[in-house]
Structure 1
C-alpha cells in the first residue's frame, strides 16, 4: 500500500530504508505492547481513601491493613473513619501461625533463561541468546534452545553438581548439596514440558571464567549454574503469622514472616523472601492503636511491558517458539514499530501504533494472537496425527487469503490511521522541512503523484506512486550524482504544480560547457536537462550495443540505455503533461557502422494510457527501413526535436539557408553536428544516401562553389572505395574492411572515411591496437 511513499515517516538516516511488514507472530507481539500503551493512555486517575492503623510495642511495630482496601467515596470513608476514632479500641479476633514454603524454580528452559536474564542481569533477550549460543559452542552449557523444563530420570545430576565443587563462589554450596547429612538434595521438579529433543539448560563444563569472556558471558554462565543448583535443592522454609483485629466493627489485618531455613536461597541470589516480624498477639487481646489515619491516594495505570513481561505474554498466547521469541522482539525494534527504554520497557512508536490502529479499524483483529494461536494448534494436530499437513496448509492459506483480501479492500482505514500520526508526503511536516518527495501530479493516471526516487544502480528516476498499477516514469540522466526536490514551482509546465529539482552532475560525465549544479524541471521546458539526458543515453548505448546480425534483418530495440520492454518516458518538449509524453524516438546509431534498420518498441508511452501521437513512436519495420536514415540523429546519436523524414530535416540549417544538394547523387543533404574533441558543436552536411560519401562543413559553404563539396570533394573517392568494398565484401567490425555487406560506407564526425587499416603504419592486415610498431 506504499505507506512509505504516501506518508512522511519520522525516521532518518539508515532507517529510511526500513521495511514495513506484517507477520503472524510479529504483529501480535506488537499488539501486546500497543494494548498496554493504550491502557496507560486511557487511564483516568481517580482519588481514593483508606484507613491505616499501626501498633507499636516493646517487641516491634505492626502495620494493619484495612480489609476494605479503599473507598472512592470521600463521605463514606470519613463516616467510617470517625466511627473508628470514637471507638479506637482494637480487639484481636484471630491469630494464625503456619509454615510457608518457597519452592525453587523449575529446570531452565529458553523462555525462562531470557526472562531471568532480563530481570536479573538486565540483558535483552536477543543478546542473551547470542551469549548463550557462544557458551554452548564453547562447550560450557547445554543447547540453549529448548522448551524442556524437566530432567530425564536417567540424567546423572550428581555428576553435574560435582563439577562445581571447586568454584570459589558456589563450590561450598555444591558440597553441601552432595552431603547426605545436610539433607539439602531434592530432585528437580517437573515443569511439564518436554520437546523430546534437548534437556533443560544446564552447565556442561566447569569454569571460573575464561580470559576471553565478557562480563555478560560470566553473568549468563553464573545464572545457568546457580539455577541448576537451586532446582536440585530443598525449598526455603518460613513461618508466617497473620493477626486480625476489629476496630468499631471494621476489620484490619497484619502479616509477618520469618525465614526458618533458606535452603536454595543460599545459592539462588536472584530470589528474595522475607518479611517483617510481628509482636506477639493472643486472641481477645485489646490495645489502642498507636496511629489511626485516613489517607488518600490516586489510582495508577499499569506499567509499560518489560521484556520479561512481553516474553510471558508471548509464551502464554503461543506466539512463536522458545527459539524465535527474541527474534520477533528484535524485529519490532528493527522495523521501528517499538522502542525500549533503559529499564527494558517497551513503548510503541507512532508507526507501530498507527499500523495496529489501522488493522483494528478494519475489524480483523490481525494484531491479536488468535490467528497465530489457531495455526499453532493446527500444527500440533499434525504432530499428533489428527490432521494432515495438506489439510492444515490449505486452511492456513485460506485464512490468510481472506485476511489479505479484506485488508486490501479496507486499506483506506489503514491510510486514515496513518494520517492520524503522519503528514502526507505531498506537504512538509513542519517549517524546517526544505524538501519534499513529490515532483508533480501524474498526468498518466491522474490519481497519484510523481515521486523522485533513487534507482538500485544509484541513478535517479521520477516514477508514479501508483506503481505497479501506473507505470509512468521519467528516467533522469545517468551522469547525476545528487538530486533533491525543491519547493520552487515551474511557472511554465502544466498540469502543476511541477516542483523544480536541484541536480548535481558528475563533472567527468558531462561536457565542460555545462555546469555541475543545475536547477531544472522535468516538465519539458528545460533544454539543458534534455540535452544531458540525450548524451547520457547515447553513452550508455555505446557501452551496451551488441554487433548486428545482418543487414537484411529488422531488429526491434528500445531507446538506447533503456531495458527492452520497460515502459518509460523521455523528457518532454514544451509544457505537455507528464502523461502525454509521446517519444520522438529515433533509432540509435549503430557504433559498429551497421546500416540495418531498427524498430523501436513501446518505449516512451506508459502502458495503459491513451495512445496520443503514437505515429511518432510506433513505426513498422518496413516504414522505418524505407527511411534508411533519420535526420533527427546527429553523429553522436543525440536526437533533434524533429521526427520522421520531413522537408525541414533537409534544410541546410535552422537559420533558413537554402538546400545543399549532393553533387554526386543529387539528393538533398542532411544537417548534422560533430561531437569530436576538435570539432564539438560544429555543423556539417552529408548526403542522406548511405552509399555516398559527400560531406561539407556548414561554415565552409561560403568558401566553396554553390552546391559544391568543400572538404567533401573527396566524396567520389570514398564512393569508389565503397564500391570496392561491395566487391570485396567488407566485414565491418568483424573484419578489416570499411563497408558492410550492402556496400555502405561509414564516415566519422569529421567526415573522413573509416578506413579498414592500421592508422599507425597503414598496413590493412591489422588495426592499431595490434600494431607491432605501436609505441615506436
Structure 2
C-alpha cells in the first residue's frame, strides 16, 4: 500500500481535508508543534488504496536572509547588500513544524502539497518540498488544486493531482529576494541617517525606531500623501448658479440649471436678469423612462476588502483574517481571488437552495430559485478560483461577532448577485425660462429587486409632481445661488486598496498587509472617521526622495516589477534575468540617494520647524496611532487638527473669510455644496494652488511648494473698468455714496452677446461693492 504525506497551509485546512477524505473517520495525533496536528486515514490515490498522513504548516516556512557577516549596520557598506549572497532558511518560529515534516517525510513514499492555489501558496509548497526532500530524496511530489473545502472539491482534487508550478515559485523567489535587498539597503540608509540627525527623536540603538523602506510600502504611502497634498494645495473658486424653485401639490421642486455654473458673478447677473425678463417658464418636455439599479457583480478579494471597510467598519486585514477562517471551516469559498465571474460549469442553484433555510433571507432565496439563478458577472478571471461565495448554510446562532458579519456579507452579496436588478421609472421635466434651460427629475421605484436582501445599498423614491408639456409656469422663483469648488476627501482604506489594485501595487493577497505596515511604521494615521492622514515622517520621506529626483513613492517601479513577475509565471522571462535588471535599477538609485541623503533630513526638519519644534532635541513630529503629531488635517479633509506628541500645538489658522455677500436681495448662498465637489483636487481648468489662501489653513505641511497664481477669467467682467463714452449717460450705482458705474459687454455666445450693461466699478470681492446692474 502506498504511503502518502499530505501537507496543507493551515491546520484547519488539514483537518477539513482529512475529515472529507476519511468520511469523518480520521485519527488525530500530535505533531511537534501543538498548533499543527497529524491526521491519519486510508483513501484512494491513483486508483489504489493508500495510507495517508495529513499535517500542515502555518504559512511560509522559510525566508530569504543575508549571511551573518552582513548583519552589522555600522560596518557593512550598505551598497554591498545589492549583491551579497543570500540564503533561504527556515525561520526560528517554524523549527518545530520543520521537525514534523522531516520525520513524516521519512515514513512516506509521496508528498502531496495542499496549500492555497495562488502565487504565495505555490511558494509555500516549494518550501515544504525542500524541507521534506532533505530527509527523503525518494519522495514523489504532487500538488492538489482546490478552491473550497467541500466534499466535491476535495475529492476532485485528490483524484486529479498535478505538479507544482516551478515558474510561479521562481517569480515569488525573485520578488522576495529583491524585496530583501532593496528593503534592507534603503531601511539602513534612512534609519541610520535620520537617527544620527534626530537622535532624541528616533533613538540611537538598533532596538529603537526603524524607518523601513519597502517597494510596496512606499507607493502605498505615496497615494496617501498625494491625496493630502492635492487637498492642501487646492484653491477654492467661487461659482454661481441659477436655480428655479417651484411648489406644486405641496412638493417643492428644484429645477437645476443646464449650464451647471459660471465662475464670474457679473455673467451670472446678466443671465439672471435676462431670464427674469421672460416672466414665465415653459415646460418644454416631460420624459418618462425605465430606470435600473444594477445588482452587484460576483465578489472578488478587492471588493470584499472594500466592503469590509466601508460597510462593516473593519480593516482590510481583519476582514481577510475572518474570511480565511470561514474558508478553512468550509463555510465560504477561497477568499483570495481576482475572479469576478462565475465559470459556466459551476451550478449555483444548490448554493441558493441551502440559503432557503435562513429565517433572515430564506424567503428571498426561494424567490431567486423561482425566478431563476442569473449571476451578474464581471470580466476578470485569474483562471484559478471562482468568485467568493457561500458553500453551506450557517445559522445566526453558530457564528459570533466579526465571523457572522463577514459571512452575512458574503451570503447577501451572493444572493444579490444572482437575483434581479432593482427597477423604477424616472421622470425628467425640462423647463425653459427665457433663454435659460433647467431640469428636474423624479424616481418611482417599481421593484426593489436585489435591494431587499442587499441591505448595504439604498435607493429611495424621489417624488415629482405632474407636469404637462407646453404648460406655462408663473408662480416660480428664479434665484442665484453661489458656492465654492471643494477638494476631494482624504483617502479611506477602501480608496487606497482600489488605487493599489489599479496601479498593480502588491496583489489581492498582500494589499491589507502593506497598509497595515505603513500604519505600524507611523507613516500614516487613521482619523476617527476612517480617513487616512500622512504623518510628518511619511510626508518627509516622500518629499525627501522627490527632492532628490527619484519618484520612489510613485507606483511605476513596483508596477513594472509586477509585470516582470507575470512574465516569469508565463515563461517569457527567466528569474535571474529579471532579478539582475531590477537590482541594477534600484542600486543606481540607491547610490545617488546615499550621496544626496542630507535632503531627507532637511525635509523632516522643515516639517518639525513648521510644527513649532527645533529638530534634534525636539519632540516627535510624526504621529502615534490615530492621535499623534502628524500634520493638521487639510481644510478639505475635515476633522480637528492632531496635536504633536512631544511638541507644541500647530500654529493657529488665520481667521476665515466671511460668507460671500448675496448677489441680489432675493438670492440665497450655498457654501461648499457636496454636489459640486471636484474630483482629483482640481478646479475646472486644472489649476491647483494653496488651500490655505482660500480657507485660512493651518500650517502648510509642504512649505517648499509655491501656489500657482489664481486663474484669470476670460469674461468681460474681469476687464479693466473704463469711463463711459461721450454718447453714453453717466449712471450711478447703489453704493453709499453712489459711484459712477462702469459699462461692460456680454461676451458669452447667445442672444445677449454684445449687449452692454452697467455695474458697480469696485472690484468684485470688495466688501463695499454693491450689486447694481442695469442694461445700457
Range of TM-score over shorter length: 0.5 to 0.7
**Cα separation, 1, equivalents of 2:305 and 2:541:** 28
Deviations for 1:22-49, whole angstroms, at most 9, x for unmatched residues? 2121111111100110011112233222
On the 8 A contact 2:301/2:508 being kept in 1, the answer is yes
1:510 is aligned to none
2:259 is aligned to 68
**Cα separation, 1, equivalents of 2:249 and 2:205:** 67
Q: CA deviation at 1:283?
A: 2.5
1:50 is aligned to 241
**Cα separation, 2, equivalents of 1:198 and 1:320:** 18
1:120 to 286, 308, 311: 311
Alignment of 1:589-600 (within 5 A): none
Alignment of 1:208-287 (within 5 A): 208-210=395-397, 213-287=399-473
Alignment of 1:56-455 (within 5 A): 56-58=247-249, 60-179=251-370, 183=371, 185-210=372-397, 213-422=399-608, 427-429=616-618
On the 8 A contact 2:608/2:615 being kept in 1, the answer is no
In 2 relative to 1, CA 362–277 (structure 1 residues): closer, same or farther, beyond 3 Å? Answer: same
On the 8 A contact 1:244/1:254 being kept in 2, the answer is yes
In 2 relative to 1, CA 402–427 (structure 1 residues): closer, same or farther, beyond 3 Å? Answer: closer
**Cα separation, 2, equivalents of 1:16 and 1:299:** 48
On the 8 A contact 2:427/2:442 being kept in 1, the answer is yes
In 2 relative to 1, CA 10–87 (structure 1 residues): closer, same or farther, beyond 3 Å? Answer: farther
Q: CA deviation at 1:11?
A: 7.4
**Cα separation, 2, equivalents of 1:132 and 1:16:** 35
Secondary structure in structure 1 of the residue aligned to 2:442: strand
Name the stretch that deviates more: 185-194 or 132-141: 185-194
Deviations for 1:46-81, whole angstroms, at most 9, x for unmatched residues? 322212212111273321111222222112112222
Query: What TM-score comes out, normalization by structure 2 length?
Result: 0.53
Q: CA deviation at 1:199?
A: 1.8
Q: CA deviation at 1:186?
A: 4.1
**Cα separation, 2, equivalents of 1:167 and 1:12:** 57
**Cα separation, 2, equivalents of 1:261 and 1:417:** 58
Segments of 5+ residues of structure 1 without an aligned counterpart are: 432-776
**Cα separation, 2, equivalents of 1:158 and 1:243:** 43
2:211 is aligned to 20
**Cα separation, 1, equivalents of 2:205 and 2:391:** 42
Secondary structure in structure 2 of the residue aligned to 1:422: helix
2:37 is aligned to none
**Cα separation, 2, equivalents of 1:295 and 1:244:** 20
On the 8 A contact 1:106/1:191 being kept in 2, the answer is yes
Alignment of 1:586-625 (within 5 A): none
Alignment of 1:672-687 (within 5 A): none
Q: CA deviation at 1:176?
A: 0.9
Q: CA deviation at 1:402?
A: 2.0
Q: CA deviation at 1:214?
A: 3.5
**Cα separation, 1, equivalents of 2:325 and 2:201:** 36
**Cα separation, 2, equivalents of 1:349 and 1:15:** 22
On the 8 A contact 2:332/2:390 being kept in 1, the answer is yes
2:125 is aligned to none
Instruction: Kindly report the root-mean-square deviation, in angstroms, between the aligned alpha carbons of the 2 structures.
Output: 2.5
Q: CA deviation at 1:310?
A: 1.0
On the 8 A contact 2:429/2:439 being kept in 1, the answer is yes
Secondary structure in structure 1 of the residue aligned to 2:355: coil
In 2 relative to 1, CA 430–214 (structure 1 residues): closer, same or farther, beyond 3 Å? Answer: same
**Cα separation, 1, equivalents of 2:203 and 2:275:** 62
Secondary structure in structure 1 of the residue aligned to 2:284: strand
In 2 relative to 1, CA 274–410 (structure 1 residues): closer, same or farther, beyond 3 Å? Answer: same
**Cα separation, 2, equivalents of 1:198 and 1:132:** 15
Name the stretch that deviates more: 321-330 or 290-299: 290-299
Deviations for 1:320-357, whole angstroms, at most 9, x for unmatched residues? 10010000100010000001112211000000000001
On the 8 A contact 1:7/1:422 being kept in 2, the answer is no
On the 8 A contact 2:349/2:373 being kept in 1, the answer is no
In 2 relative to 1, CA 62–14 (structure 1 residues): closer, same or farther, beyond 3 Å? Answer: farther
On the 8 A contact 1:235/1:264 being kept in 2, the answer is yes
Asked which structure has the greater CA Rg, the reply is 1
Q: CA deviation at 1:358?
A: 0.6
In 2 relative to 1, CA 272–371 (structure 1 residues): closer, same or farther, beyond 3 Å? Answer: same
In 2 relative to 1, CA 360–207 (structure 1 residues): closer, same or farther, beyond 3 Å? Answer: same
**Cα separation, 2, equivalents of 1:9 and 1:322:** 39
In 2 relative to 1, CA 88–329 (structure 1 residues): closer, same or farther, beyond 3 Å? Answer: farther
In 2 relative to 1, CA 64–22 (structure 1 residues): closer, same or farther, beyond 3 Å? Answer: same
Secondary structure in structure 1 of the residue aligned to 2:318: helix
**Cα separation, 2, equivalents of 1:220 and 1:12:** 42
**Cα separation, 2, equivalents of 1:274 and 1:96:** 20
1:36 is aligned to 227
Quick check: which one's helix share is greater? 2
In 2 relative to 1, CA 225–11 (structure 1 residues): closer, same or farther, beyond 3 Å? Answer: farther
**Cα separation, 2, equivalents of 1:8 and 1:288:** 75
**Cα separation, 2, equivalents of 1:201 and 1:232:** 13
**Cα separation, 1, equivalents of 2:528 and 2:291:** 36
**Cα separation, 2, equivalents of 1:326 and 1:236:** 32
On the 8 A contact 2:239/2:484 being kept in 1, the answer is yes
Secondary structure in structure 2 of the residue aligned to 1:98: strand
On the 8 A contact 1:8/1:422 being kept in 2, the answer is no
In 2 relative to 1, CA 12–402 (structure 1 residues): closer, same or farther, beyond 3 Å? Answer: closer
**Cα separation, 2, equivalents of 1:256 and 1:418:** 53
Secondary structure in structure 1 of the residue aligned to 2:363: helix
**Cα separation, 2, equivalents of 1:310 and 1:338:** 12
Q: CA deviation at 1:195?
A: 1.9
In 2 relative to 1, CA 338–13 (structure 1 residues): closer, same or farther, beyond 3 Å? Answer: farther
Secondary structure in structure 1 of the residue aligned to 2:592: helix
State the number of aligned residues: 427
On the 8 A contact 1:54/1:289 being kept in 2, the answer is no
Secondary structure in structure 2 of the residue aligned to 1:56: strand
Secondary structure in structure 2 of the residue aligned to 1:241: strand
Alignment of 1:621-636 (within 5 A): none
**Cα separation, 1, equivalents of 2:282 and 2:234:** 39
1:4 is aligned to 195
Deviations for 1:646-703, whole angstroms, at most 9, x for unmatched residues? xxxxxxxxxxxxxxxxxxxxxxxxxxxxxxxxxxxxxxxxxxxxxxxxxxxxxxxxxx
**Cα separation, 2, equivalents of 1:96 and 1:364:** 55
Secondary structure in structure 1 of the residue aligned to 2:490: coil
On the 8 A contact 1:355/1:418 being kept in 2, the answer is yes
**Cα separation, 2, equivalents of 1:14 and 1:189:** 56
**Cα separation, 1, equivalents of 2:380 and 2:465:** 44
Q: CA deviation at 1:13?
A: 14
On the 8 A contact 1:30/1:352 being kept in 2, the answer is yes
Secondary structure in structure 2 of the residue aligned to 1:234: coil
In 2 relative to 1, CA 426–301 (structure 1 residues): closer, same or farther, beyond 3 Å? Answer: closer
Deviations for 1:76-108, whole angstroms, at most 9, x for unmatched residues? 112222222232311122222221222211111
**Cα separation, 1, equivalents of 2:440 and 2:199:** 58
In 2 relative to 1, CA 218–9 (structure 1 residues): closer, same or farther, beyond 3 Å? Answer: farther
**Cα separation, 2, equivalents of 1:421 and 1:12:** 19
